[in-house]
């Protein structure tokens, strides 16, 4: 019997009012139906927003350390259910099981981090210029927050947003990608079991451009956070600007690894393989460009293509698999289009470049790991986000040239440098214009205790995750309080 996943509104799992459903499938084998899922309409969203609003005054008044205890319990439940959830991630999203486990681990990390944040949530206390008066700032929640999340990290990304929003005292409505609704429901189930009060977390399903957009522009929503494509993010930016509504955006990336001629080449190769083909290239932090010094270019390209060609493509639950499927047909076709464009632009296709559909692979959309050499920085495959297992290798002669290749793109999420020369890494660390810079490591693998966010078109300047400037700053607003206990009217800037 097929599982049924329903909306979660005001603390109960309920069918969508119109009783419509859609299907979530395993991308490695479309015959494997994960579940039938409630297709929410506008009226369901209205109910979810109303439930969030109603719960809000109780939730914001619950002391933050108590909210943190609920998140701590959620962390413990995630630990207990890690293997089961990871298998769900792999089955519904396609990434290999070790990465499915990583996806859940990232949610565990952020749950523990945000649980601890319940005992910090710092404001400031500063001296007043006047006697018998004190000055402090405190954090308050934004209110009811809409969260719209993608399929590529189906547990971790909803968790980043949910746990940060919740610890600050917001009530939320989550609208996950229609490709991974089952994972989102499993995460919400964990929060319910951890004791989140009714109405504080609500879950609805449906297409982003209909249900997601309606939710984010809903008159009774106070703020919104979105991770997904640039096109959708920019549309939301326009819509929410006129509503004066805070919006956190994480959008695309076109991340580069720079390999200097003095680099440990073996390490750089491993980093390029991991960053380029991990998660089948479906990460916003994927390394889709490797910029290699001309002195080691030929050698690097040959070894890189050879290794890529040896990677095993298949279902993520198979232990031998390195690369899982693309999330769905339309994404697969988009990637094949880019491969065609690269060839037409004159890049050299060294390996891959085609769909694999022999045997069991015919039941999903699999693409062989693809490497292009002789790519120039102006080619579309070097400038546009592909979100698939396609890596372009570009050569450079001077450090300034390499810096320019990274900094002149509209994207600015992550970048990486492989070099053993401390002066070179220090200079690049200063000059590279991306939200995250890695040294002697790949472009992926950000940890939760520091902000995660892209510059320029990759984000809106409201990063996810922890640390100063991280998600707590987005999900709370500062209130400043001046308390005068002098018993007389004191005038700042006037009285001396
Ligand atoms: C994403 O690619 O959408 O840094 C998120 C990383 C992960 C998160 C990636 N921790 O690659």
Kindly report, residue by residue over 203-219, the tens digit of the pLDDT.
Answer: 999 999 999 999 999 99
Tens digit of pLDDT at every position of the chain (496 positions) = 789 999 999 999 999 999 999 999 999 999 999 999 999 999 999 999 999 999 999 999 999 999 999 999 999 999 999 999 999 999 999 999 999 999 999 999 999 999 999 999 999 999 999 999 999 999 999 999 999 999 999 999 999 999 999 999 999 999 999 999 999 999 999 999 999 999 999 999 999 999 999 999 999 999 999 999 999 999 999 999 999 999 999 999 999 999 999 999 999 999 999 999 999 999 999 999 999 999 999 999 999 999 999 999 999 999 999 999 999 999 999 999 999 999 999 999 999 999 999 999 999 999 999 999 999 999 999 999 999 999 999 999 999 999 999 999 999 999 999 999 999 999 999 999 999 999 999 999 999 999 999 999 999 989 999 999 999 999 999 999 999 999 999 999 999 8
In the DSSP assignment, the letter for residue 279 is G
Q: Which atom of ligand 1 is nearest to the CA of 414?
A: 4
Query: How high is the pLDDT of residue 496?
Result: 82
The binding-site residues of ligand 1, defined as CB within 6 angstroms of any ligand atom, are 106, 152-153, 283-285, 444-446
Pocket test for ligand 1, best of 452, 453, 467 (most atoms within 8 A of CB): 452
pLDDT of 321: 98
Distance 483 CA to ligand 1 centre (A): 44
**What distance in angstroms lies between residue 30's CA and the mean position of ligand 1's atoms?**
26
Q: Does domain 256-439 have CATH number 3.90.850.10?
A: no
For 393, residues 6+ apart whose C-beta sits below 8 A from its C-beta are 289, 290, 292, 297, 300, 301, 304, 371, 372, 373, 375
Return the structure tokens found at 32.
Answer: 């494997």
Q: Which homologous superfamily is 4-251+459-481 in?
A: Aldehyde Dehydrogenase; Chain A, domain 1 (3.40.605.10)
Q: 32-74, pLDDT tens digit by residue?
A: 999 999 999 999 999 999 999 999 999 999 999 999 999 999 9
pLDDT at 475: 98
Q: What are the boundaries of each domain within the chain?
A: 4-251+459-481, 256-439
- Helices 64-80 + 97-117 axis angle, to 10: 160
Q: Which two tokens stand for residue 361?
A: 């692979």
Distance from the first to the final alpha carbon of the chain:
78
Centre of ligand 1 to C-alpha 443, Å, is 9
C-alpha 152 to ligand 1 mean position (Å): 9
How many helices (H) and strands (E) would you count in the chain? 15, 24
Q: Please, what sign has the CA dihedral across residues 417, 419, 422, 423? A: negative
How many Å lie between the centroid of ligand 1 and the Cα of residue 73? 24
What is the Cα Rg of the chain in Å?
A: 24
Query: What number does the ligand 1 atom closest to the CA of 447 have?
Result: 10
- Please determine whether the domains at 4-251+459-481 and 256-439 fall in the same fold group of CATH: no
Report the alpha-carbon distance of residue 86 to residue 84 in Å, rounded. 6
- Supply the pLDDT for residue 222: 98
Contact assessment for residue 294 and residue 262, using Cβ atoms and an 8 Å cutoff: no
Atom of ligand 1 nearest to the CA of 282: 2
The CA-based angle 398-404-407, given to 5 degrees, is: 145
Q: Catalytic site residues?
A: 250, 284
Q: What is the pLDDT of residue 2?
A: 87
Q: Which atom of ligand 1 is nearest to the CA of 448?
A: 10
Within 8 A by CB and 6+ apart from 216, the residues are 146, 148, 224, 226, 236, 239, 240, 247
Nearest residue (by CA) to ligand 1, atom 7, is 445
Nearest protein Cα to ligand 1, atom 11: 444
Q: How many C-beta atoms lie closer than 10 Å to residue 355's C-beta?
A: 16
């Amino acid at each position: 019997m097929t599982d049924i996943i329903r909306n979660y509104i005001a603390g109960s799992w309920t069918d969508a009012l119109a009783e419509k459903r859609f299907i979530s499938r395993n991308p490695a084998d479309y015959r494997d139906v994960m579940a039938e899922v409630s297709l929410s309409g506008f009226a369901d969203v209205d109910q979810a927003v109303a439930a969030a609003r109603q719960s809000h005054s109780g939730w914001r008044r619950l002391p933050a350390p108590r909210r943190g205890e609920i998140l701590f319990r959620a962390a413990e439940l995630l630990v207990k259910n890690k293997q089961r959830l990871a298998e769900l991630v792999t089955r519904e999203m396609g990434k290999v099981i070790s990465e499915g486990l990583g996806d859940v681990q990232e949610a565990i990390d952020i749950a523990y981090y945000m649980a601890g944040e319940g005992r910090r949530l710092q404001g400031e206390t500063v001296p007043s210029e006047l006697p018998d008066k004190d000055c402090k700032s405190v954090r308050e929640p934004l209110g009811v927050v809409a969260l719209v999340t993608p399929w590529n990290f189906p547990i971790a990304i909803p968790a980043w947003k949910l746990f940060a929003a919740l610890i600050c005292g917001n009530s939320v409505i989550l609208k996950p990608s229609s490709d991974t609704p089952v994972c989102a429901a499993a995460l919400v189930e964990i929060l319910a079991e951890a004791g989140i009060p009714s109405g504080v977390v609500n879950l609805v399903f449906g297409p982003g451009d209909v249900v997601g957009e309606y939710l984010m522009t809903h008159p009774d929503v106070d703020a919104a956070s979105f991770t997904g494509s640039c096109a959708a993010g920019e549309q939301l930016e326009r819509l929410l600007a006129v509503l004066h509504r805070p919006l956190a955006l994480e959008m695309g990336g076109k991340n580069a690894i720079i390999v200097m001629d003095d680099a440990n080449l073996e390490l750089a190769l491993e980093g390029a393989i991991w960053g380029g083909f991990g998660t089948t290239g479906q990460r916003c932090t994927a390394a889709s460009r490797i910029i290699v010094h001309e002195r080691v270019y030929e050698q690097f390209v040959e070894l890189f293509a050879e290794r890529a060609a040896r990677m095993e493509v298949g279902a993520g639950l198979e232990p031998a698999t390195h690369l899982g499927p693309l999330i769905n047909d339309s994404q697969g076709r988009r990637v094949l289009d880019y491969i065609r464009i690269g060839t037409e632009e004159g890049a050299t296709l060294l390996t891959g470049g085609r769909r694999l559909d022999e045997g069991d692979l015919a039941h999903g959309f699999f693409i062989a790991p693809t490497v292009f050499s002789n790519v120039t920085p102006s080619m579309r495959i070097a400038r546009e986000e592909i979100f698939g297992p396609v890596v372009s290798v570009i050569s450079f002669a001077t450090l300034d040239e390499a810096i320019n290749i990274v900094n002149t793109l509209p994207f600015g999420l992550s970048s990486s440098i492989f070099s053993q020369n401390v002066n070179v890494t220090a200079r690049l660390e200063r000059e590279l214009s991306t939200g995250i810079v890695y040294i002697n490591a790949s472009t992926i693998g950000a940890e939760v205790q520091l902000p995660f966010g892209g510059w320029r078109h990759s984000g809106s300047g409201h990063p996810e995750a922890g640390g100063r400037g991280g998600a707590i700053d987005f999900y709370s607003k500062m209130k400043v309080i001046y308390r005068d206990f002098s018993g007389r009217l004191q005038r700042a800037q006037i009285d001396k």
